[in-house]
Chain A
Amino acid sequence: QKEVEQNSGPLSVPEGAIASLNCTYSDRGSQSFFWYRQYSGKSPELIMFIYSNGDKEDGRFTAQLNKASQYVSLLIRDSQPSDSATYLCAVAFTGTASKLTFGTGTRLQVTL
């Protein structure tokens, strides 16, 4: 059973702080890793994707991947109230055309 684990939260951070979201996965053969943001009642929205070990930065977001530890994280700098949402970690066994296995998501609350 391929599993993706996330802390359900809620993770509460003050506005302007760094939010750190974590995800572990069980299938060592996983190749592609994604972070989606989902607002209540809405469809997931892609935030970041990463394939190689290390860091990948895009604006206020940084994805970090450590395949040896089977761990992927998302850092959100200068958190804004509009970042308040559920963040879903997803893993694919092969490339982008393969099916995704999702974690249960971490709810982030950015407080004023």
Chain B
Amino acid sequence: GAVVSQHPSRVICKSGTSVKIECRSLDFQATTMFWYRQFPKQSLMLMATSNEGSKATYEQGVEKDKFLINHASLTLSTLTVTSAHPEDSSFYICSAPGQGNQPQHFGDGTRLSIL
């Protein structure tokens, strides 16, 4: 079964809207979670590393004021795309390292479409 739950799976909204995406670790605690973005026919690109109880670490070129990350608990990280525009339309995917030495597991992703 899924070890990382991501919601919603799909969002369609108007330009200027802010959209919040949730990523939950199921049955385990994750002090770190990762947020990736994937444009059509491209690979996953890391946007930021979410750290429980502290500020997220953003990759070069990712606007931290536009992509707000909150990791307030050991099982939940949220990504808020503020004032989304059509160019933000993409597939957003979160992941969390597994327990012990287990590899990262990915959420099912969120397809964001901004009209």
A residues in contact (CB < 8 Å) with B: 32, 34, 36, 41-46, 49, 88, 95-97, 99-105
Chain B residue with the shortest CB-CB distance to A8: B41
**Count of inter-chain pairs, beta carbons less than 8 A:** 50
Could you tell me the distance between the alpha carbons of A96 and B97 in the complex, rounded to whole angstroms? 6
The reply to whether A49 and B93 form a contact with Cβ atoms under 8 Å apart is no
Set B43, B46, B105: member contacting A99, Cβ < 8 A: B46
Chain A residue numbers with a CB within 8 Å of B109 are: 42-43
Shortest distance between the CB of B102 and any CB in chain A (Å): 6
The reply to whether A100 and B108 form a contact with Cβ atoms under 8 Å apart is no
Q: Please classify the interface of chain B as helix (H, G, I), strand (E, B), loop, or mixed, using the class held by over half of its residues.
A: strand
The reply to whether A96 and B42 form a contact with Cβ atoms under 8 Å apart is no
B30-68, CB < 8 A from A: 32, 34, 42-46, 49
The reply to whether B108 and A102 form a contact with Cβ atoms under 8 Å apart is no
Chain A residue numbers with a CB within 8 Å of B93 are: 43-44
Chain A residue with the shortest CB-CB distance to B100: A96
Could you tell me the distance between the alpha carbons of A49 and B98 in the complex, rounded to whole angstroms? 13
What would be 20 A-B contacts, judged by CB atoms less than 8 Å apart? A34-B103, A34-B104, A43-B6, A45-B106, A46-B105, A46-B106, A96-B101, A96-B103, A97-B32, A99-B46, A99-B49, A100-B44, A100-B46, A100-B95, A100-B104, A102-B43, A102-B44, A102-B45, A104-B43, A105-B43
